[in-house]
Structure 1
Amino acid sequence: MQTLALRLDPGDDLRAALVAALLASGHEAGYVLQGVGSLSVAQLRYAGQPQPDTLRGDLEILTLAGSLSADGAHLHMSVSDAQGRVLGGHVCAGCVVRTTAELLLALLPGRRFTRELDPRTGYPELKIS
């Protein structure tokens, strides 16, 4: 395992930047070990819901973890708003960094993660090779 520390800038799309960092590293499998920072927009899909909810405002990233592959990511995150309320769920495209996002990735040399539709779940699920 190798590690890669990242800092994202204001305006970056969190999910897209993580997949781009994996691709730029030359690896085909990785995990987000942890992430902290702030967002101005969070797109979170809650358990059992078909579409994400949009959260806007000053949001703090409390936790961020998940798997990364060249063809997608499976990330979960919890955020708090300016009143300290905490929400969490599946990270969708459109999470916009407000001031910073500081992330630690684990890169897995010799491994390849892909996403394939699993008819049992209806979602593209992780395949490890």
Structure 2
Amino acid sequence: MQAHPLRLQPGQDLRDALEDTVRQLGATAAFVVQGIGSLSVARLRFAGIDQPSELRADLEILTLAGSVAPDGAHLHMSVSDADGHVLGGHVARGCIVRTTVEILLALLPDHAFSREADPRTGFMELFIRDWPRGE
């Protein structure tokens, strides 16, 4: 495992930036160990709901975790507003960094992740394969 700290800048889309970073690093598998920071917009899909909800406010990221494959990410996040109310869910595109987001990525060079249709769930799910070093 290789640790890769990352800082996102104001205005960046959180999910796009993570996926782009993993591709630019040439990584075949990564996990977001944790992330903190602030957002001006959070787009979260709540359990059992098909479409994400958009929150527009000064938001603090309390937790951010998930897996990142070259063909996409599966991320969950909890955020709090100025009154301390907390919401969490699946991270959709459109989460915009307000001041900073600090993330620790764990790169897994011995593995390859992909997102593939799983007939049992009906969703694109994580498939994990061994990836011998040097290939």
Report the TM-score, using the length of structure 1 for normalisation.
0.98
How far off is 1:26 after superposition? 1.3
Unpaired segments ≥5 residues, structure 2: 130-135
SS at structure 2 position matched to 1:37: strand
Residue 15 (structure 1) aligned with residue 15 (structure 2): yes
The count of corresponding residues between Structure 1 and Structure 2 is 129
Query: Residue 35 of structure 2 corresponds to which residue in structure 1?
Result: 35
Report the AA paired with residue 126 of structure 1.
L
Distance in structure 1 (CA, Å) of the matches to 2:116 and 2:28: 15
SS at structure 2 position matched to 1:83: coil
Query: Residue 76 of structure 2 corresponds to which residue in structure 1?
Result: 76
Distance in structure 1 (CA, Å) of the matches to 2:60 and 2:48: 24
Between structure 1 and structure 2, the one with the greater Rg is: 2
Query: Residue 58 of structure 1 corresponds to which residue in structure 2?
Result: 58
How far off is 1:45 after superposition? 0.3
Report the AA paired with residue 120 of structure 1.
R
Query: Residue 95 of structure 1 corresponds to which residue in structure 2?
Result: 95
Residue 67 (structure 1) aligned with residue 76 (structure 2): no
How far off is 1:13 after superposition? 0.4
Q: Deviations for 1:24-67, whole angstroms, at most 9, x for unmatched residues?
A: 11111000000000000000000010100000010000000000
Aligned-residue CA RMSD (Å) = 0.6
How far off is 1:110 after superposition? 2.4
Unpaired segments ≥5 residues, structure 1: none
